[in-house]
Amino acid sequence: MTARVSPYLTFAGNARQAMRFYQSAFGGDLDITTFGDLQGSTDTAQDELIAHATLRGTTGVVLMASDRTPGDEVAGGSTSITLGGDEAELATYWERLSESGSVTVPFARSPWGALYGRCTDKFGTDWLVNVTAPATP
């Protein structure tokens, strides 16, 4: 059996912009369903809010998201998304995600040998990017 974990992000009315931003960072296909599409809203002001969005990036990144509607409570603590691997493309993801955001830990060689950085993107999502150091012979 295979299990997958996919982050599900919630936004305060800007899920569409956030998911398009993530699509520009990770590529791939973005599917968006609004509350209006589902005819699940009795308030036409909510029709354009995102009920569910899924981004399937070109390298396997999967993100899901929705907008919070009035009355939705934000539960739980803080969350960070970690991108890891040995792909040089992760450095490109870092550049895209940190642009217009804030850098907590600059993307540089870490004590454990990997390229590592931490940032919060312009939509408030916290990212940890860890490019594994190549194995030494």
The average confidence (pLDDT) of the chain is 85
pLDDT at position 110, please? 85
Query: Rounded CA gap, 40 and 22, in Å?
Result: 26
Domain count along the chain:
2
Which structural domain, as residue segments, surrounds residue 12? 8-67
Q: What 3-state DSSP class applies to 74?
A: coil
24 inside domain: yes
Q: Contact, 57 vs 3, CB < 8 A? A: no
Structure confidence by residue, pLDDT tens digits, 67-119: 987 666 665 556 789 888 877 788 899 999 999 999 999 999 887 788 889 99
Q: What 3-state DSSP class applies to 68?
A: coil
- DSSP H helical ranges for the chain: 15-26, 35-38, 89-98
89 and 118 within one domain: yes
Query: Rounded CA gap, 2 and 97, in Å?
Result: 29
Query: Rounded CA gap, 30 and 97, in Å?
Result: 17
20 inside domain: yes
- The distance from CA 4 to its chain's CA centroid, rounded to whole angstroms, is 16
14 and 63 within one domain: yes
88 and 51 within one domain: no
CA-derived radius of gyration, the chain: 17
Q: What is the CATH number for 84?
A: 3.10.180.10
Region 114-135: mean pLDDT is 86
Burial of 116 (0-12, 13-18, 19+ CB in 10 A): buried
